[in-house]
Amino acid sequence: MGVSIEPLICGHLTAGLSAFESGATDGSVTLPVPSWLIRHRLGLVLFDCGMHPDLSRDTPMRERVSRNFEVDMGPGETLHRRLADHQVDVTDIAVVVLSHLHFDHAGGLVQIPDARVVVQEAEWAAGLDDELRRGNGFRRGDYDLGHEVLTISGDHDLFGDGTVVCLSTPGHTPGHQSLRLRLDSGEVVLCADCAYFERTLAGGPLPPFGHDTAQQARSIARLIDHRRAGSRLIPGHDTTILHALPERLT
């Protein structure tokens, strides 16, 4: 059986467009928050975990996040419930690859206590460094939960067979990574926050925040190289693209 990908949309975030694209002056945008379930013959992998389940209820955490984003995640949209929709128990997940440590990617990790976490060394170091953590807006309680953590530096072939490969795409955060999957239908790259939108890949504006925007631009160029080589690129938060995906990509 080949590798497959199932998108799990775990709620949405809405904010002014200027929060996500430098120079935007008006309008708001709603971002789907995806996790990705990858089935490989050697085990189940998640790429990103969505948001903390406390954001699905009226909690102090939700109140705090709501100062910056309108949070739309009902109890039926947590990662735990999305996995159940796909007949997967959280204990079945062997590996969680985190693209980066922002709350809408790492916050759901608390629901997957038994998995091994794979993250770039630079990202993990930033997550444990008070200054870098604050500068990047990471919440340590999202990810520093006692998981077994495998830190990697640069690209990393998860199963050693070329089907699931972490691609180092820093810039949005110090150790951001994307994930390349080799499906029977061809190669797919899950860009995560290296490119929020399809138009980001076409030279559109980057967010007004970010660890190193010049580095992010170089990482986008790297993703474009993969597109030129035939990969399908899936941006991290593009409503039109994410909502049009089939239930399963093979």
Binding site for Zn ion (CB under 5 A): 102, 193
User: Which of 40, 172 has the CB closer to Zn ion?
Assistant: 172
Q: How far is the CB of 112 from Zn ion (least distance, A)?
A: 19
Q: How far is the CB of 7 from Zn ion (least distance, A)?
A: 17
User: Which of 52, 102 has the CB closer to Zn ion?
Assistant: 102
C-alpha to C-alpha distance for 48 and 33, rounded to whole angstroms: 10
Q: How far is the CB of 205 from Zn ion (least distance, A)?
A: 15
User: Which of 102, 156 has the CB closer to Zn ion?
Assistant: 102
User: Which of 31, 110 has the CB closer to Zn ion?
Assistant: 31
Name the β-bridge partners of 61: none
C-alpha to C-alpha distance for 235 and 172, rounded to whole angstroms: 13
Contacts of 87 (CB under 8 A, 6+ apart): none
Contact 29, 12 (CB under 8 A): no
Contact 71, 53 (CB under 8 A): no
C-alpha to C-alpha distance for 213 and 194, rounded to whole angstroms: 10
Q: How far is the CB of 101 from Zn ion (least distance, A)?
A: 8
Q: How far is the CB of 236 from Zn ion (least distance, A)?
A: 8
Q: How far is the CB of 50 from Zn ion (least distance, A)?
A: 12
C-alpha to C-alpha distance for 70 and 109, rounded to whole angstroms: 21
Q: How many CA atoms lie within 13 A of 101 on its CB side?
A: 31
User: Which of 8, 13 has the CB closer to Zn ion?
Assistant: 13
User: Which of 6, 193 has the CB closer to Zn ion?
Assistant: 193
Specify the 3-state DSSP secondary structure of 34: strand
